[in-house]
Amino acid sequence: MRRSRSALCLCCILLIILLQIPPVVSIDIPEDIRYGPFIDKTVYNIIYGVGPTLLALQVGEIDIGSIDPVYSYDFDIPSNIDIFESPRNGYPYIRINCDQYPLNISGFRRAFAFAFNKTKAVHYAYEGHASLHDSLVPSTNRWCSENLLEPHYYDAEIDIANSILDELGFSINSTTGYRNAPNGDPFYVEGYSYPFYFNNRVASLAIEALDSLNIHADWFYPDFYPWELPPTWSMLLFGRDFEYDDLELDITSSNYSNDTYDFWMSEFQSGESYREVRDAAIEIQKILHYEVPLLVVCQSNYLQGYRTDHFQGLVVDLCRYLSGPWTLRRAHKIDGMYGGILNIGLNHEPSSFNIYTTNSHMILENLYSSLYSRDPNMNPIPDLAVSMLVETHSNNSIVPNGHMRFTFDILQNATWSDGRTLTAEDVVFTFIYQLESGSYDNPAADSLGDLISIYTPSTYRVVFEFSSESYWHFNKIAYEYIIPKHIFTRIGYSGWNTWNPVFNPNEPHVTCGPFVLTNFEAGEYYELTSNPEYHWLPYRPPLSPSVTNTSTQPTTPDSIFEIVSITLSTTYVVVIACIILLLIKDRKHSE
């Protein structure tokens, strides 16, 4: 019975890992989103500034470009341009210096949170292009527990805020009219932010909140970076975007520490089941909601303009919006034919095409492949993998007690852009390279501490073994870019950060994704051409009549707060097969 329960528990973990799809409305999207690309090329055009982006959209230089809501009203947007709006996978926030007295008193930070008017921030600072939010985990993240946090800091509760300060001994000086710290000394709040449109309005709300509490404060708009703040800083208005659905919160930047928080973060990172991880995520958010080392201003929206007269089949992505890899995979010309060049506006220059040092993966994720990709919901979807088996000692006695083993079979038609066949040897080498280059400070090795064995029993099968059981082991190996062994053997472990492909034409740049980089001019554009040897390209079906209609709207629900859903039939089959195999093995052990 104990073995049966263990197997069932493991099956549940596996199901939750692979099938975390929340209940949503049904929408018309491709049955298997992996097929493609259908376009010939995509070109990333470097365009700085919202005004130039809108102009580039108007004249047809780009098909998709990011904009800010305030600037969109200054232009007469033609009928062939629509605006896509979605909750941002991040938020603006006010960082509070927890090393500075009396800001190191959590009650002071909580009083400020009660006094800050988030409702006004949504409607005044962001002109309605935002929603109320408290959690340090954005609403697009599967771990968000916004509805479990109380009381909320949505409206300005001045009476509550002042009563908190009164009880803590923040008395008002009868001469200055400002509050003194509990030790009787006067104090001063020194706020900073960049002088952007939204920042100016949010900063005015922060000053308004502090004034309502009789706190002496000023706000400054310097031209230096946040890490160059003077030691006297008290608050910083900044922003944070998350990568997929991680929980890497920006706590240390506030000089905040808390033993209970550290405990639950450890539980979150080491949890063996979804329930353990979920419970830890809830506790983390409750602690930070009460302690307020960072105050989320609101859940701001992300806006992109897109032309409706060139392409259709644009795909909404919770993390990468309209310009993500699924749009590049599924977009096709408005007449239903293959081909064409999709132009995308990019507001920053890639620092590098080195996958270990780049500041942006927006281009690179279209050049490389991994065992699994993330679908528009940020759920796993097989890429190079065709099957996966997860084993522990409870269902396979050969696996040491406490260990966790993953066995992947991979596609047999994947090739590198130089014509070499991609095999399990490349997968094994990828992780060995990360581990060995860790000796030369490659941070990619940091998450692989429990990986004790990786080998290939056959040409297209790879086995990973961890010295512990964890919900997160799948994530550690599933989404890593696979690198070519025959190239990186020459680069060497010590060259992980000096390898400078593209920008240094003498450096090898061999990839295996849906596109290959074919041309570029630094600071101007980067051209990607459809990879004729891509492992999902040969199987692309003809465009169906339902796809070749004249609709140009992106694939998205009516409500921006509903989540895109997709039927992952291949993943279902893989998971069900794994579960059946585990249960059969478990029954044999029981007998």
Does residue 403 register a pLDDT over 50?
yes
Band the pLDDT of 248: cuts 50, 70, 90: confident
| CA angle centred on 198, ends 193 and 204, rounded to 5° | 65
Q: Comparing 559 with 171, which gets the higher pLDDT?
A: 171
3-state secondary structure (DSSP) of residue 104: coil
pLDDT for 425 = 98
pLDDT for 70 = 58
Does residue 481 register a pLDDT over 60?
yes
Q: According to the 3-state scheme, what is the secondary structure of 507-557?
A: CCCCCCCCEEEEEEECCCEEEEEECCCCCCCCCCCCCCCCCCCCCCCCECC
Q: Comparing 351 with 575, which gets the higher pLDDT?
A: 351
Tokens of 169: 């001994």
pLDDT for 197 = 58
Residues 6+ apart with CB under 8 A from 179: 165, 170, 171, 172, 173, 187, 213, 214, 215, 216
- The whole-angstrom separation of Cα 342 and Cα 64 is 8
Interval 514-524 mean pLDDT: 95
Band the pLDDT of 549: cuts 50, 70, 90: very low
- The whole-angstrom separation of Cα 74 and Cα 66 is 15
pLDDT for 25 = 26
Alpha helices by DSSP H, 19-80: 50-58, 69-72
Interval 512-524 mean pLDDT: 95
pLDDT for 169 = 97
- The whole-angstrom separation of Cα 50 and Cα 252 is 32
User: Nearest-CA neighbor of 13 among 549, 369, 450, 473?
Assistant: 473
Tokens of 550: 């004249």
Instruction: Answer for the pair 483, 416: CB distance below 8 angstroms, yes or no.
Output: no
User: Using the 8-state DSSP alphabet, how is residue 507 labeled?
Assistant: S
3-state secondary structure (DSSP) of residue 311: strand
pLDDT tens digits for range 184-240: 999 999 999 986 657 788 999 999 999 999 999 999 988 766 667 888 999 999 888
Does residue 531 register a pLDDT over 90?
yes
Q: Which long-range contacts (CB under 8 A, 24 or more apart) does 242-248 make?
A: 242/89, 242/90, 242/138, 242/140, 242/141, 242/319, 243/319, 244/319, 244/374, 244/378, 245/140, 245/141, 245/142, 245/143, 245/319, 245/378, 247/137, 247/141, 247/143, 247/281, 247/284
pLDDT tens digits for range 432-454: 999 999 999 999 999 898 999 99
Q: Kindly tell me the burial class for residue 386, based on how many C-beta atoms sit within 10 Å of its own C-beta (0-12, 13-18, 19 or more).
A: middle
Instruction: Answer for the pair 40, 339: CB distance below 8 angstroms, yes or no.
Output: yes
Least confident of 54-63, 290-299, 323-332, 553-562: 553-562
pLDDT tens digits for range 69-113: 655 555 567 888 888 888 888 899 999 999 999 999 999 999 999
Q: Tell me the average pLDDT of the chain.
A: 84
pLDDT for 382 = 94
- Can you list the domains of the chain with their CATH numbers? 1-27+368-512+573-591 (3.90.76.10), 36-80+308-360+521-556 (no CATH), 90-301 (3.10.105.10)
pLDDT tens digits for range 8-50: 444 444 444 443 433 222 233 456 788 899 999 999 999 987 7
pLDDT for 247 = 80
Q: Which helix (H) or strand (E) holds 588?
A: helix 569-590
Does residue 279 register a pLDDT over 90?
yes
pLDDT tens digits for range 456-477: 999 999 999 999 999 899 999 9
pLDDT for 573 = 38
pLDDT tens digits for range 374-396: 988 888 899 999 999 999 999 99
Q: Comparing 207 with 244, which gets the higher pLDDT?
A: 207
Residues 6+ apart with CB under 8 A from 421: 414, 415
